[in-house]
Amino acid sequence: MSEPTPDARVSPMLQQYFGVKRQHPDALLFFRMGDFFELFFEDAKVASKVLGIALTSRSKDQEVPMAGVPVRTVDAYLRKLIVAGHTVVVCDQVEDPKAAKGLVERAVTRVVTAGTLLEDALLESGRHNWLAAADVVAPGEVALAWLDLSTARFEGATVPAAELADELDRLAPAELLLPERFRDARPAELAPVRGVDAGGPALTFRPAHEFEDDVARRALQEHLRVADLAGFGIDPGDRFVGAAGAILAYARDTQRGLVSHVTKLVRRERGGAMRLDRAAVQALELFETARERRRDGSLLSVLDRTKTAAGARLLRDWIGEPLVELDAITRRQEAVAELHGLDATRATLRGEFEGVFDLERITARLAANRGPPRDLAQLRDSLARLPRIVASLADAGSAPLTELRARLVAPPGLHELLAAAIETAPPLSAKEGGFIKAGFRAELDEQRRLRFDVESILADLQRREIGRTGIATLKVGFNSVFGYYLEITHAQRERVPADYVRKQTLKNAERYITPELKELEARVLSAEERSLRLEAELFEEVRARAGERTRELQELAARLAELDALQSLAEAAREHGWRRPVLEASRRLLVEEGAHPVLAATLPPGTFVPNDTRLGGDGPCFALITGPNMAGKSTWLRQNALIVLLAQMGSFVPARAATIGVADRIFTRVGASDDLTRGASTFMVEMAETANVLHHATDRSVVILDEVGRGTGTFDGMSLARALAEHLAEKTRCRTFFATHYHQLTQLSEELPSVVNFSVAVREWGDQILFLHRIVAGGTDRSYGLHVAQLAGIPAGIVARARQILRELESLTPELERRAARDAAASAPPAKADDRVARELRRLDVERLTPLQALTRLAELKQLAHGGEPTAKPRAKEKDGDAPSLFRDAGA
């Protein structure tokens, strides 16, 4: 049913509701009514389904659907609605109902969206909650900015449109702002955000003028209280400012202007950290496993030994953004190494960090006037840990830790204020009071005494009046009709003081009141209201004083997070027995007894088989790995990439020793997956990821490729695999790990000095095989696919039939290869004579040629060098194991 148009028959309360709803037609409106937030009409129907709450009716005549949730548990319901993709407008009572004359005044106090959350109950502690904004500012260029409102981290950059999907994957924003013009855009026009998964951020469209550079720059300067953004390292030509301004405008709208804790905007330098694309993050399982998408089994799960939420978020950032500058890597590594060696210091830090709460998010809530009393208590308790944390670093001698210790400074006087003002364990809700300490303010103490200790106050009064009047039987009492009174028996009537005013006559006594008693009564009866109001005022005062120290608290929170992340790396290294690698400005990758960091940590002790790696430098840079499935090829590929990543984030590595030349990028092409929602088959995804490697890898990159070319026909696949291998080995010359079942490619090591063959050792007993998981020098010509099928449980009859078919295919292979070679040669473009001569020379097996054959081949090569075709002559018989002719001709 559509929402009715308000008319004279609608109650004043619903008239008020409609006034708010008209301003927020696309959001669910939480309308405060006493102890509940109510929803009406279509909002109520939607919420009842999502939240599983009852749908009722406010009026049988009007049949207004309604549903409600308790105010005290509202956060749990908000989380469900946000996860379901809804925006919620909170319209609260901004007037005390007891003081209201007529309708209680209400106003929107916040707009809750996926990217603007502040409350811990709505957030995941170990990761950022990014609000991002993007806009196309030039052909192929996108402005991108991102803000975590809960921690005040605010950054921006201009990125190539082709890399936007990877950037959004890295950030995983909860909400993405786009200019209004994209609302009705065709899919092709939304290409810059195509990298966002279906389960990714909520899209919110904003007015185009908020993305304009001039408007955004002025708004940012005003908010940050600067005349120019140059102080933040932002130049006039930085085009991400428009996106940053759109974020600021949206944050102000949703938070009703309470964003003072956002105190700086950081220009993201793209050269200081390694950019990992989506394929690398997924293939290396940095944050979650590829299949189950679980945290357990990821690199993060092995490294994360943090004790604070802010430390966990920072460690996650470090994993996703390895360093590329040698000095920065060495500096972080020095801090980790020192903490690794100081067991007592590390143990003390870990113990103290147990009591450090999420200062980043607490500070944000306090600055936004949204922090409950418990936030102040947690801030106080965290600051109390600081002296012992600083003292624990007394033995630290490295420059990074010494400098870090000097920057661990609390705002002067803040801990003392909080210790004096806030109860040790304040209640979750401020509604009932009880969070300001006794002794902090005498007036509050008096009101509490009147509220909670009235019996002793009356007893004191009774003792004083007995002493003054000499009437031993005088009593102080209370009646719901007459209030407090002094009761005196008729026998003592003559001794009643003149200031006593008779109030009530009983059979045996008279009841009196005095000015003092009436004043006391008024104070007692108003004590609850006055104490709650005064406590709320004191709380606001203390919270405001804490909010004034936002910058200092943010700096302290950042330094504590850094120290926690460093000790986590040191603790993980000690726990797993990892060693410190040597980083250098070279292209070498030398690893002695390297292991996969996750598998070695999760498998039973002693079961993981370590392997060496020697690649790059003056030797071959391209490792071609053959061997059976399940034997460890993919593990070796991944572990080498992970060892490089760990080293460049400043961590120790799972190896006896390692020397690693700093890599600018890590690329992967692993596994089989499709993207049918975008019309991409498994092979198309494979080729797209491979193309990304070819376009962006440099001689400083590390590349792992697993079974490239397997998604198409055999000969197409082998041709592609060989061409890719030649390009990476000879032109790009990056450190490459190339696993393949195309055994014919092993001949590349004889033709290209940059290629070296490796295989996985296997031991055979008849039809049985044992995978040794040991990487050895040399290639292999077998994949043991039928053995693996048998181990997997394929019925024996099918395996036997497969063996028969395999023998038949092997007998046909020479003819098939010759036919494919002829087809490839016929369709290939003419090659330059010099290139063809060079290739033919590389293929010659001089030691096996007779003198006559050598002279004949020399004549052919001379003819070829002058542009002719070599005369078809019989060639020397190839050695056993040589690559078939397909790859010679296809390569030409």
Q: Where residue 32 sits, what CATH number does that domain have?
A: 3.40.1170.10
Residue 808 in any domain: the answer is no
Q: List the beta bridge partners of residue 704.
A: 668, 737
Q: Are residues 646 and 692 in the same domain?
A: yes
- Domain assignment of residue 240, yes or no: yes
| Residues 104 and 200 reside in one and the same domain | no
Give the residue ranges of DSSP H helices in 662-709.
682-696
Residues 146 and 197 in one domain: yes
> What pLDDT is attached to residue 848?
62
φ/ψ (deg, to 5) at 280:
-70, -45
Q: What's the pLDDT score for residue 892?
A: 27
Q: 88: helix, coil or strand?
A: strand
CATH classification at residue 750: 3.40.50.300
CATH number, residue 322: 1.10.1420.10
Determine the average pLDDT of the residues in 402-409: 96
Does residue 27 fall inside a structural domain? yes
pLDDT confidence bin for 876, thresholds 50/70/90: very low
DSSP run (H or E) holding 37:
strand 36-40
| Residues sharing a CB contact under 8 Å with residue 490, sequence separation 6 or more, in sequence order | 508, 509, 510
pLDDT band (50, 70, 90) for residue 628: confident
Q: Could you say which of 221, 254, 270 is where a domain stops?
A: 270
CB 234 within 8 A of CB 265: yes
For the chain, give the number of residues. Answer: 892
Spell out the alpha helix ranges (H) of 342-398. Answer: 343-353, 359-367, 373-392
The predicted-structure confidence for 451-472, as pLDDT tens digits, reads as follows 888 889 899 999 999 999 999 9
List 619's β-bridge partners, or say none: none
Q: What is the pLDDT of residues 827-836, one digit of tens each?
A: 455 555 566 6
Tell me, yes or no, whether 768 and 678 share the same domain.
Answer: yes
Residue whose token pair is 């009643």 = 496
User: Residue 630 region, left (φ>0) first, then alpha (ψ -120 to 50), else beta?
Assistant: left
Six-digit token string for 298: 């990821």
CA distances from 589 to 578, 622, 664 (A): 17, 11, 13
Mean pLDDT of 408-435: 90
Cα separation, 286 vs 291, in Å, equals 13
Structure tokens at 229: 């953004």
Helix, strand, or coil (residue 273): strand
Same domain, 343 and 374: yes
Q: What is the pLDDT of residue 265?
A: 94
Give the C-alpha separation, 668 to 702, whole Å: 9
Q: 632 in a domain, yes or no?
A: yes
Residue 117 lies in a domain: no
Domain membership of residue 779 (yes or no) is: yes
Q: Are residues 570 and 589 in the same domain?
A: no
- Which of 702-706, 770-774, 787-791 has the weakest average pLDDT? 787-791
Within a domain: 436? no
Tokens 């003149």 belong to residue: 498
Residue 183 pLDDT grade (very low, low, confident, very high; cuts 50, 70, 90): confident
260 and 162 in a common domain? yes
Q: Which two tokens stand for residue 541?
A: 């005062």
Domain of residue 877, residue span:
831-891
Can you tell me whether residue 220 is helix, strand or coil?
helix
Q: Is 319 exposed, middle or buried (0-12, 13-18, 19+ CB in 10 A)?
A: buried
Residue 278 placed within a domain: no
Tens digits of residue pLDDT in 468-525: 999 999 999 998 888 899 999 999 988 999 999 999 999 899 999 999 999 998 999 8
**Same-domain pairing of 210 and 331:** no
Q: Are residues 763 and 697 in the same domain?
A: yes
Tell me, yes or no, whether 524 and 632 share the same domain: no
Domain total in the chain? 6
Q: What one-character-per-residue DSSP string does 96-159 give?
A: -TTT-SSSPPEEEEEEE-TTS---GGGS-TTS---EEEEEEEETTEEEEEEEETTTTEEEEEEE
CATH code for the domain in which residue 142 is found = 3.30.420.110
Q: Are 786 and 810 in contact (CB under 8 A)?
A: no
Going by C-beta distance under 8 Å and a sequence separation of 6 or more, which residues neighbour residue 531? 433, 444, 447, 448, 450, 451
Strands of 670-749, DSSP E: 702-706, 735-739
Q: Hey, what are 121's tokens?
A: 């109950």
- 355 and 456 part of one domain: no
| Judgement on whether residues 658 and 708 belong to the same structural domain of the protein | yes
